[in-house]
Amino acid sequence: MPYTKRRRLVTSAVALALGAAALAACGSESGDSETESGPVSLTYWTWTPGMDKVVDLWNKGPGKKDQITVTVKKQASGDTLITKILTAHKAGKAPDLVQAEYQALPTLVSNDALADISKNVGDAKDRFADGVWQQTTLGTDAVYAVPQDIGPMMFYYREDLFKEYGLTVPTTWDEFAKTARKLKQAAPDKDLTTFSANDSGLFAGLAQQAGAKWWTTSGDQWKVSINDAATQKVAKFWGGLVKEGAIDNQPMYTPSWNKALNTGKQIAWVSAVWAPGTLTTAAPETKGKWAMAPLPQWSANENRTGSWGGSSTAVTTDSKHQEAAAKFAAWLNTDGDALNALAKESGIYPAAKNAQTSGAFLKPPAYFSHQADFYTKAADIAETTAPSAWGPNVNVAYTTFKDAFGAAAKNKSDFGAALNKMQADTVADMKKQGFEVAR
C-alpha cells in the first residue's frame, strides 16, 4: 500500500532530523481488550463543561477500586471535532474515550474509529428508550457508544405576549402557521420565530418528527431518502411561511437574534430541552416570561417529537484498554451519582430514563421556575421521540443544508428545490466514496 511507504519515508526523515527516538513509542497497533491487570489510565475527549468534576467522582470511587484513572481533555464541540478525532485516529493516537453526537456515530464507525463494546455495556440497554439506544447500534448487533444526553424538541413561547396578542399555543403545525400570521397582523414588526439555516440539527429534528428516515439500510445497501414525502412536507411548510413573510428568515445565534428574543421581537422558539440554558444567556431580561409546550403536531391525533442535539460516550479502536474504557462509559451514563453530578455540574439532560425525573430534575430550571412541572412534562415529551436514522455522511448533508436552505431562505425561494439538492449531493458523495446506494 503506497500509504505505508509514504509513512515510512516521513518517519525516517523526521527521526533523522530530530534525532529523536521517534519510533520507540510508535506502536500504533490497537491492543485488543485483553484482561487488565494493574493500573490503567484513560484519556477522554469531551466538550461537556464540568465533566472533570464528574470524572473525579469516578477516580475517587469505582475507578480507584478498579485502578482505572480517567483524565478529561476538554475539547470544543462541533463538526470539526470529528475531523480532529479521525486525524488522530489515522495516526493511531485517538484518545480512549470520545464524546460524539449521535449523528456522527456512523461516520466514526465507518472510519473504524469506534470499538464495539456490546460485550461490556450490553446490560445498559434497558436504561434507555429504544429509539435512543438504537442510535448507538446503527441497527447492527454491535454497540458503539453509551447514550449520554438527549435533546427532545419542544415549543417555547412568551406566555405574556401570547396573551397580549390573543394567541393560543399551537398544537398542530397548521395552527402554528395561523398563529404566525395572526401575530404578523397584530404586530407587523414582530415575528413568531425565524427559520434559521445555520443549524442543520433543527431541521433534521423537525423532519424526524414528521416521520422522515433519511438513511436506512437493506442488506448491503444504503437507502437515502432525505427528500421523502415527510421531509418535503416540512420543507414546504417552512418555505411557505418564509415566502409569505409570516416568520423571519435570519439565522439564529447572532447578536441580532439574541436581542430579538430579549426584547420580544421574536416571541417563540422551536427548540429542545436544553433551551433554558440558551435563553438564560440570550434573553436574560425575559426570565419567567417563557413557557414550554409540546411541539406542534402534523395531525391532531399524533403525539411525536424529534430530537435536536444529544450525544454519547464512545470507546475508540485506538484504546489499549477498551474494556476499562467501556466500564467507565457505562458508569458515567447509568450510575445514579454520576448522572446526578452530570446534571448538576454540566447541566445535561440525561438519556437514562430514570434520571430524567429524579435528583436535579425534580425542580424546574431556574429560568422556568414558574413552570413547576417542566421536567415531568419534558420526560413525557422525551418518551414520544420518533426514531432517527443517521448515515455515514450526515456531515455532507448538513453542510449542503446550510448552503442550500441558507440561499433559499434569503431569496425566499422554493425550499423543495433546496431539499432535492441536499438529497442529490448526499447521494453523490456516498457514491463517490463507494458506498452501495440503492436507488
Partner 1 sequence: MSSLAVPQTEPVAGSTPGTAQGRPPLRRRIALIPTVTLFLGAIYCLLPVAWVVIAATKSGRELFSTFTFLPGTGFAGNFRDLSAYRDGVYWEWMGNSALHAGLGALLSACVSAFSGYALAIYRFRGRETIFNVLLAGVLMPPVILAIPQYLLLAKADLTDSFLSVLLPQILSPYGVYLARIYAAAAVPADVVEAGRMDGASEWRIFTRIALPMMIPGMVTVFLFQFVAIWNNFLLPYIMLSDDEKFPITLGLFTLLEQGANTPALYTLVITGAFLAVLPLVALFLVIQRFWSLDLLSGAVKS
Partner 2 sequence: MKSTARRQSYGVKGAPYAFLLPATILFALFFALPIGYAIWLSLHKVKVSGLGLGSGARREVWAGLENYTDALTDSELVNGALRVLGYGCIVVPVMLGLALLFALMLDSENVRLAPFTRLAIFLPYAIPGVVAALLWGFLYLPDVSPFYFVLDKLGLPQPDLLDGGPLYLALSNIAVWGGTGFNMIVIYTSLQAIPAEVYEAAKLDGATPVQIALRIKIPMVAPSLVLTFFFSIIATLQVFNEPTTLKPLTNSVSTTWSPLMNVHRDAFGEGDVYGAAAQAVIIAFATLLLSFGFLRAANRRQKQEAAR
User: Interface with partner 1 by CB under 8 A: which residues?
Assistant: 7, 10-11, 14-15, 18, 20, 22, 24-26, 43, 45, 47-49, 52, 73-78, 80, 84, 87-88, 90-93, 95, 149, 151, 201, 255, 258-259, 262-263, 272, 274, 277-278, 280-285, 308-311, 346-349
For 194, other C-beta atoms within 10 Å of its C-beta total 23
User: Please, which residue, 1 or 24, has the CB nearer to partner 1?
Assistant: 24
Closest CB 83 distance from partner 2, rounded Å: 5
Q: Which stretch binds partner 2 (CB under 8 A): 125-133, 148-156, 278-286, 399-407?
A: 399-407
Residues 421 and 345: their CA atoms lie apart, in Å, by 42
The DSSP H or E segment spanning 417 is: helix 415-433
Closest CB 256 distance from partner 2, rounded Å: 4
Residue position matching grid coordinates 464528574: 54
Any idea how long the chain is? 439
Greatest Cα pair distance in the chain = 77
Out of 256, 357, 358, 413, name the contact with partner 2 by CB under 8 A: 256
356, 382 contact by CB (below 8 A): yes
User: Please, which residue, 1 or 24, has the CB nearer to partner 2?
Assistant: 1
Residues 232 and 230: their CA atoms lie apart, in Å, by 5
Q: Which stretch binds partner 2 (CB under 8 A): 165-173, 182-190, 230-238, 396-404?
A: 396-404
Q: Which stretch binds partner 2 (CB under 8 A): 20-28, 338-346, 392-400, 415-423?
A: 392-400
Q: DSSP secondary structure string, 200-219? A: HHHHHHHHHHTT---EEEET
Per partner kind, with CB cut-offs from 5 to 8 A, the member of partner 2, partner 1, none near residue 254 is partner 2
Beta strand pairing call for 40-46 and 97-101: parallel
**Contact positions with partner 2 (CB under 8 A) in 331-390:** none
Cα(first)–Cα(last) distance of the chain, in Å?
33
Q: Hey, is 383 helix, strand or coil?
A: helix
Per partner kind, with CB cut-offs from 5 to 8 A, the member of partner 2, partner 1, none near residue 376 is none
159, 148 contact by CB (below 8 A): no
Residue 280 interacting with partner 2 (CB under 8 A): no
User: Please, which residue, 171 or 262, has the CB nearer to partner 1?
Assistant: 262
Q: Which stretch binds partner 2 (CB under 8 A): 95-103, 135-143, 185-193, 346-354?
A: 135-143
Per partner kind, with CB cut-offs from 5 to 8 A, the member of partner 2, partner 1, none near residue 432 is partner 2
How remote is the C-alpha of 438 from its chain's centroid? 27
Write the single-letter amino acid at 431.
K
Residue 204 interacting with partner 2 (CB under 8 A): no
User: Please, which residue, 59 or 111, has the CB nearer to partner 2?
Assistant: 111
Closest CB 432 distance from partner 1, rounded Å: 19
Burial category of 106 from C-beta neighbours within 10 Å (exposed 0-12, middle 13-18, buried 19 and up): buried
**Contact positions with partner 2 (CB under 8 A) in 71-130:** 79-80, 82-83, 86, 106-107, 109-112
**Contact positions with partner 2 (CB under 8 A) in 181-200:** 197-198
User: Please, which residue, 56 or 403, has the CB nearer to partner 2?
Assistant: 403
Q: Which long-range contacts (CB under 8 A, 24 or more apart) does 37-41 make?
A: 38/67, 39/67, 39/68, 39/69, 40/66, 40/67, 40/68, 40/69, 40/321, 40/324, 41/68, 41/69, 41/70, 41/71
User: Please, which residue, 1 or 76, has the CB nearer to partner 1?
Assistant: 76
Out of 12, 221, 303, 369, name the contact with partner 2 by CB under 8 A: 221
Report which of 391, 360, 371 is spatially closest to residue 149, judged by C-alpha positions: 360
Residue 300 interacting with partner 2 (CB under 8 A): no
Out of 8, 27, 253, 438, name the contact with partner 2 by CB under 8 A: 253
Write the single-letter amino acid at 46.
T
Q: Hey, is 45 helix, strand or coil?
A: strand
Closest CB 288 distance from partner 1, rounded Å: 14
> DSSP alpha helices (H): ranges in 19-50?
none
Residue 393 interacting with partner 2 (CB under 8 A): yes
Alpha-carbon dihedral angle through residues 104, 110, 111, 116, given to the nearest 10 degrees: 90
Closest CB 204 distance from partner 1, rounded Å: 13
The footprint of partner 2 (CB under 8 A) covers: 1-3, 6, 10, 13-14, 17, 79-80, 82-83, 86, 106-107, 109-112, 138, 140, 142, 197-198, 217, 220-222, 249-251, 253-256, 259-260, 265, 317, 392-393, 395-396, 398-399, 402-403, 406-407, 409-410, 429, 432-436
